[in-house]
Amino acid sequence: MTTTIQVRTNQATKKTAQLILEKLGLDLSTAINIYLVQIIEKQGIPFEVVTENGMTPAEEKKILKEIVWAKRHGKRYASAKALHDAILKE
């Protein structure tokens, strides 16, 4: 038994995807079905979802937490020379 899924996307995205899929010998419906099967098999998105800086949302969240911690608890230096001297002492 089949069912219908309606997806909203802009016309340029649809057209470009169709052109690429045509070169692969696939239509849009088949490609979407492949994607859905992969979601089921992987139990999630079948590729890594990253933010615009190339990190996963979890990696980005971890780094942001580290930045907040460093701002609250990190050492501060009056100058680059003071930082350099502190590094050399360690």
Whole-number pLDDT of residue 18:
97
Q: Is the dihedral of CA 28, 34, 39, 42 positive or negative?
A: negative
Whole-number pLDDT of residue 50:
79
Question: pLDDT tens digits for the chain (90 residues)?
Answer: 999 999 999 999 999 999 999 999 999 999 999 999 999 999 999 998 777 888 888 888 999 999 999 889 888 899 999 999 999 988
5 closest CA partner among 25, 26, 28: 28
Whole-number pLDDT of residue 33:
96
pTM above 0.75, yes or no: no
Q: Which amino acid type is present at position 3?
A: T
